Homo-oligomer: A and B are copies of this chain.
Amino acid sequence: MAEPREPQTGRTDGEIGTARDRVENTTPRGDERKALILETALSLFERDGYEKTTMRAIAKEAGVSVGNAYYYFASKDHLIQAFYDEVSDRHVEQALAAMRPHRDLASRLSVELHTWITVAEPYREFASQFVKNAVDPNSPLSPFSPESKPSRDKVIAVHRHALRGSTAKVSPEIAENLPDLLWMHHMAIVLFWVYDRSPGARRTRELVDRTSPMVARVIGLSRFKVVRPLFREADKLIRDFLLPGDEPAEG
């Protein structure tokens, strides 16, 4: 199994634009500088749009040389992948801890998703600007792209963990592919969240409370032999049409 990795940075704040203030009064080390460039980029993407923001503008705003910015991030796409990666890392760490006391699958799925909302919430405004770049499955910025595989696999691994640690009885032939389907549920919640206008993403949280028990019940139906092939076919459908060429993460 591809175990979720530990977060790569020590940062715990989720605020855009605070990193710079902190760093300006210190001598930035490499990973602080990298984090500063990333936070600066996200705030510029949010303000000016992804297409219009240049690496030059990011470097200037962050107070580093253009060469230095490129040293850490080979392109704007790499900045987005680093952002996905960081959100995934924080999410994985917090979700694993928050799931621990729960055993039933619905609760574990719900906790996983609520944790994701908490981690991602500071970036909702950015996400709503950015979604038009990410929603095209042909874009490297899509969560379905080969480029997004590392962060995608982390989130799929969390779902595998949610399933394995639960009391849900799932036949081995289904359990193998189920994390992909659970990840699709996660993606549907993310899409709703991006457009959610309610304070604190209250509506998305209500949606999670409604869908998580439903998803757990659908999975419960896999105890019926007549239902099982549908799970396999649904997973194959995702691999054939949404993730072509993607090798399943190690189970």
A contacts, CB < 8 Å to B: 131-132, 135-138, 192, 195, 197, 203, 206-207, 210-211, 214, 217-218, 221, 224, 226-227, 230, 233-234, 237, 240-241
Contact = CB atoms under 8 A, between A and B. Distances in A.
A205 B210 CA distance: 33
Copies of this chain in the oligomer: 2
A218 B230 CA distance: 8
Given A214-B230, A214-B233, A214-B234, A241 B203 contact: yes
Contacts of A192: 241
Contacts of A230: 214, 217-218
A224 B230 CA distance: 15
A207 B138 contact: no
10 contacts: A135-B135, A138-B195, A192-B241, A203-B241, A206-B241, A210-B237, A210-B240, A211-B237, A214-B234, A221-B221
